[in-house]
Copies of this chain bind each other. A is one copy, B any other.
Amino acid sequence: MGHSRASKADTHARLVAAAAARFKERGIDGISLADLMKELELTHGGFYKHFASRDELVTEALDLALAESGQVMRELLFDSDKPNIARFVDFYLSAAHAGGRTGGCAVAALAGDAPRKSADVQAQFRKQIERNLEILVEALRRGSSPAEGRATTAEARTTSAEARGTALLILSALYGALMMARAVGDSPLSREVLRTVRKRILDLSGAVPRRRASR
């Protein structure tokens, strides 16, 4: 009875996880179903017991990969009392994170593929980037203004717009720096990009309240 220890649901999940990792490494079209199945010590033919098509796997793997990127972001930012933007940026722009491609940020790894894919795929990116933005906005606001909870609605809105703008800039710079660093390979330039952008972003993130205060 039964044929293997692994349940069908388990195999499905392992496939999605493996696909997410490989997609980040090699791009969405960079790995074949056959190679993917081989990784799980399965054979090519069994794939369609788990997914109706490759696209279905792409959708699920992308969901997982993008969600993970948000999860990592949230953990790094929020696992202490006060949002720790520095730790997040340090990690995000660390050489290890930039170099190793398996565990990296799915947005940075796959954003380049998205424009050539379907609107559904782009919607997945849109949704996750929106979420990541919210996380960062929240971190900026909590980091900058512990008393914000008591702000009036009008003040909060202004602050929010301000924070959202800052978050957008930071996110753009993070993604851009990571993609540049990866595109140029390991080199003095890539290290300079990571180090310098990291410092500037920390200035920016800290600058939010200060800049407001100074005006």
In the bound complex, how far is the Cα of B192 from the Cα of A130, in angstroms? Answer: 11
Contact in complex: B173, A111 (CB < 8 Å): no
Q: Write out, one digit per residue, whether chain A residues 157-177 have a CB within 8 A of any chain B CB (1) or not (0).
A: 000000011101101111111
Contact in complex: A125, B183 (CB < 8 Å): yes
Copies of this chain assembled into the complex: 4
A113 contacts chain B at the CB level, 8 A cutoff: yes
In the bound complex, how far is the Cα of B169 from the Cα of A80, in angstroms? Answer: 28
Contact in complex: B30, A116 (CB < 8 Å): yes
Chain B nearest CB from A83 CB (Å) reads 20
In the bound complex, how far is the Cα of B152 from the Cα of A1, in angstroms? Answer: 60
For the complex of A and B, 10 pairs with smallest distance between CB atoms: A112-B112, A176-B176, A172-B176, A122-B185, A114-B183, A126-B184, A175-B176, A111-B183, A172-B177, A169-B200
Q: Which residue of B125, B182, B192 is within 8 Å of A115 (Cβ)? A: B182
Contact in complex: B179, A119 (CB < 8 Å): no
**Majority secondary structure, A binding face:** helix
Q: List 18 A-B contacts (CB under 8 A).
A: A25-B116, A29-B29, A101-B115, A107-B183, A111-B183, A112-B179, A115-B185, A126-B184, A130-B189, A165-B199, A168-B196, A169-B197, A169-B200, A174-B176, A175-B179, A175-B180, A176-B176, A176-B177
In the bound complex, how far is the Cα of B186 from the Cα of A119, in angstroms? Answer: 10
Q: Which residue of B26, B109, B176 is within 8 Å of A173 (Cβ)? A: B176
In the bound complex, how far is the Cα of B80 from the Cα of A159, in angstroms? Answer: 38
Contact in complex: A168, B193 (CB < 8 Å): yes
